[in-house]
Amino acid sequence: MTLRPAWSEVFAPERLSTVRALPLPEPLTRQWAFGSSAGAGVRVAVVDSGIDADHPMVGGVQGWAAFRADEATPSGVVCHEMEHADLVGHGTACAGVIRSIAPDCDLLSVRVLGERLSGRGAVFAAGLRWALDSGAHVVNCSLSTNRTNYADLFHDIADAAAHAGVVVVCAVNNVEGTSLPATFASVISVAAHEGRDPMRWDANPKPPVDFGAPGIEVEVAWRGGGTIVTTGNSFAAPHIAGHVARLLAEHPGLMPYEVKTILRACADNVH
Amino acid sequence: MSEERPPERAIASVANALSQALAPLGDDLVDWTARTARAVFGAAACSIALLNDDGSELVFTTATGGAESVVSGLRLPSSEGIAGWVATTGQPLAVNDLSGDARFAANVASSTGYMPQAILASPIETDEHLLGVIEILDRDATRAGSDDDLALLSLFARQAALALDAATRSRQIGDLVVAALAGLEAADGEVPAAMRAAIPARDEDGMAELAAAFADLASAGPRERSLAVSLLRDVAGYTRERRR
């Protein structure tokens, strides 16, 4: 028996669709797309619970911002741009996955979880905006909100990212239901597929989920310097974020819709 | 035509009826929800962590199959650890092998004596607010349909949230009624005013306290209630004799 998060069933081997190749004069190849890129010069923001920079699977963090709710301020949110801990391990897990695929990228830790429960949606949104304003090229967002009253806010942020050329890679919720901003068309939405090869991903011909990547019983970095074995769409998204970093290092300036097209063309289930 | 009742008896009657209707389900509900979840998932244990009043901590109740079948009291910051991530994101999480999280393992082991290898965790929340987190420890992953356990746990957690929310609301209403009855003379505001209008006497004779004792007895067994009725009749008979 294999535990499956929601949305991952379309990537089960017996159900996986074959995706039509782009009708180009010459097929896009992974060699063209990625070359020998390791993500150098690409800034990847991890909006999550923080990153343990000392974890051996992370290997350093190049930028920091921690957000928390504060009703005494006009925006209701305060930001501290300083080094911080990961109180959970989840952000460290995502950072470790990205680093394993794009070892030369710069990582930014944007902590929006781990201080208090109040104002969660506003803190999450503020962290995303900071990531856009900080010069990140890729934003990994392995969390989402099910609160529809934030739909307009996150829609605006997702559009702002798309227009600015920032690629936002989101994990869909592990259960079906509202999952924002993951299900917006302007972001890249990811669920878990079976298999642990970090270099394999599948395209989904029936979005809102765009891609499947490893996220079922995968070993990931966790707080305290160790690892855990876990299942969740959370861990599939940073695989795709890592590949986006490699792609952008090889082809700087690609827009998010171009990135999505190239990822689709290079997916393992395209024939 | 109904017999006119003295005010204190009316208060006692109202309080007693309300306290039975609004009896707090809290502890029993948490215990039995954890026990039921453990059975549904064929799990070694189930923890239900509820937010405290200010939302700063999660207070754990864990049901296991051991002699000490339900253990309560572990408190952890509400935004830390696996339960904290689930609470802050509102998303479920599955961990297949926890052994790399030494801090989590130490916390769980010290509070329950049980060391899980795997965990499924889901928020307990209604549309309006988060109540806590449910964690399934070492479920039976060979059960038919266990592929969909994240979805099943999410549904279970939603039902638990509705039940716990109803219990919480009942307790709050019950607290309000007791406070109103106890403080009719001193309290200001619309609700106490409405209570004054609805109930024609204040609880100067401790009838609310007596009603509360009745409420406690209402949740006891039939033998205990029979004993209490017998004792009360003896006291009433003794009082009548003294008045003569």
State the SS3 of B135-183: EEECCCCCCCCHHHHHHHHHHHHHHHHHHHHHHHHHHHHHHHHHHHHHC
Asked if A3's CB is within 8 angstroms of B51's CB, the reply is no
Q: List chain B residues with CB under 8 Å of A49.
A: 85, 88
- The distance of Cα A75 from the centroid of its chain, to the nearest Å, equals 26
Asked if B102's CB is within 8 angstroms of A144's CB, the reply is no
Q: List chain A residues with CB under 8 Å of B146.
A: 1, 3
**Whether the predicted pLDDT of B7 surpasses 60:** no
Residue pLDDT, tens place only, B152-164: 999 999 999 999 9
H or E, element range at B61: strand B57-64
The contacts of residue B152 (CB under 8 Å, 6+ apart) are B40, B41, B145
Please calculate the CA angle A177-A114-B101 and round it to the nearest 5 degrees: 95
Q: List chain A residues with CB under 8 Å of B122.
A: 175
Rg of chain B, C-alpha, whole Å: 23
Nearest CA distance, A246 vs chain B (angstrom): 28
pLDDT for res B40: 95
Asked if A113's CB is within 8 angstroms of B85's CB, the reply is yes
pLDDT for res A257: 97
pLDDT for res B133: 95
Per-residue confidence at A198, pLDDT binned at 50, 70, 90?
Answer: very high
Residue pLDDT, tens place only, B106-117: 666 666 667 788
- Give strand pairing partners of A139: A45, A168
Q: Round the average pLDDT of chain A to a whole number and report it.
A: 94
pTM for the model stands at: 0.81
pLDDT for res A266: 97
Residue pLDDT, tens place only, A28-69: 999 999 999 999 999 999 999 999 999 999 999 999 999 999
Backbone angles phi and psi of A107, in degrees to 5: -105, 135
Of the partner residues B78, B90, B100, the one whose CB lies closest to the CB of residue A222: B100
Asked if B97's CB is within 8 angstroms of A113's CB, the reply is no
pLDDT for res B202: 47
Over residues A60-83, mean pLDDT? 93
Domain locations along chain B? 7-23+172-243, 26-167
pLDDT for res B1: 45
Asked if B96's CB is within 8 angstroms of A230's CB, the reply is yes
Asked if B88's CB is within 8 angstroms of A228's CB, the reply is no
CA distances from B53 to B78, B107, B168 (A): 11, 22, 11
Residue pLDDT, tens place only, B178-198: 666 666 555 566 555 555 555
Q: Is the peptide bond before A181 cis (omega within 30 degrees of 0)?
A: yes
Asked if A143's CB is within 8 angstroms of B89's CB, the reply is yes
A37-265 belongs to which homologous superfamily? Answer: Peptidase S8/S53 domain (3.40.50.200)
B26-167 belongs to which homologous superfamily? Answer: GAF domain (3.30.450.40)
pLDDT for res A152: 96
Helix (H, G, I), strand (E, B) or coil at A137: coil
* A4, A117, A149, best to mutate vs chain B, most B CBs in 10 Å: A117
**Whether the predicted pLDDT of A214 surpasses 90:** yes
pLDDT for res B176: 73
**Whether the predicted pLDDT of A156 surpasses 70:** yes
pLDDT for res B181: 66
Nearest residue on chain B to A143, alpha-carbon basis:
B89
Asked if B85's CB is within 8 angstroms of A229's CB, the reply is no
Q: List chain B residues with CB under 8 Å of A4.
A: 147-148, 150
CA distances from B3 to B6, B10, B76, B202 (A): 10, 12, 56, 20
Query: Which among A173, A168, A176 is positioned nearest to A244, based on CA atoms?
Result: A168
**Whether the predicted pLDDT of A223 surpasses 70:** yes
Residue pLDDT, tens place only, B193-230: 555 555 544 455 566 667 667 667 766 778 887 888 88
> Which alpha helices (DSSP H) does A102-236 contain, by range?
120-133, 151-164
DSSP state, residue A138: E
